[in-house]
Amino acid sequence: MVSEDFLKVVGKFPAMFAKAVVFGEHPSRERPSKLNNGTVSLLRLDCGPVAVTCHHVIDFYRKRVKAGEKCLFQVGQCRLDPFDQLLSENSDADLAVLRLTETQAGKVVADGSDICSQFFAPASWPPLRAAEGDDVAFCGFPGEWRETVDYDSFRFASYSVRERVTAVGNLSFICAFDRQSWLTHFYYKGADSLREFGGMSGGPAFALRNLNFEFVGAVQKYATDAIHFAHAGLIGSNGHINP
């Protein structure tokens, strides 16, 4: 029988390779800024370090910019222009890949959080697709848990989860939702009160296979008592999405 402590370790593993992304109005001392947040998965492929998130995250930022807003886009402590560094995006797969420089990659993981962040470097790529019955661990940063520390500073609590794959499609897979199996991360104890899962989009999902973790997907959305994921293997080793 697998111990509860082991399952908690497995559930927390994805948080080492995830960062909150925040975008919207620039901070102001005069009034609260209108901000959105999502999640990126940190991955190192043949093309170098990349931040993987959902197409709809980038597209929402795009719509705000097109509406005339002067917006920032920040991954961890690294501010960047996602349009300049957009390596690939695909609306059908709901995936987007941002190329990072090594300097930016260092800023992304060096933010002094409780988790030692790093880029996941797979032994081989692409990974085997998630299959029905696989156990996957995944995480993200719910916007509902975003806390304001100062007018220009925020704290994000991650939500780590372990679930079983219940359905698989060509572009995505699904895990049925079971709130009782969701794990609070570190000292955050408000899991039972979490009502919305917005902000987790783009978070990494790992399958444990032969005592090795494989990055198999990115969180897309929560809908109808299920979590939907994009297949990570749709991303080539060059960072381009091939649905």
Percent of the chain with pLDDT over 70: 74
- The CA distance from 103 to 31, in Å, is 32
Contact 215, 232 (CB under 8 A): yes
Query: Do residues 38 and 201 make contact, with C-beta atoms less than 8 angstroms apart?
Result: yes
Q: What average pLDDT does the segment 196-208 reach?
A: 83
Instruction: Quickly name the fold that domain 4-234 has.
Output: Thrombin, subunit H (2.40.10)
Q: Report helix, strand or coil for 208.
A: strand
To 5 degrees, how large is the angle CA 84–CA 85–CA 90?
A: 105
Per-residue model confidence (pLDDT) at position 50: 98
Q: What is the pLDDT of residues 222-238, one digit of tens each?
A: 877 888 999 999 999 99
Nearest-5° angle of CA 93, CA 156, CA 21? Answer: 40
Contacts of 110 (CB under 8 A, 6+ apart): 77
Q: What is the DSSP letter of 241?
A: B
> Looking at per-residue confidence, does 33 or 102 come out higher?
102
Among 172, 170, 190, 174, smallest CA distance to 182 is for 190
pTM for this one? Answer: 0.86
SS3 187: coil
In the chain, where are the structural domains located? 4-234
What are 150-172's pLDDT values in tens digits? Answer: 445 666 666 677 888 999 999 99
DSSP 3-state of 235? strand
What DSSP string describes 101-169?
A: -HHHHHHHH-S--SS----B--SSSSPPPP-TT-EEEEEE--GGG-EEEETTEEE---EEEEEEEEEE-
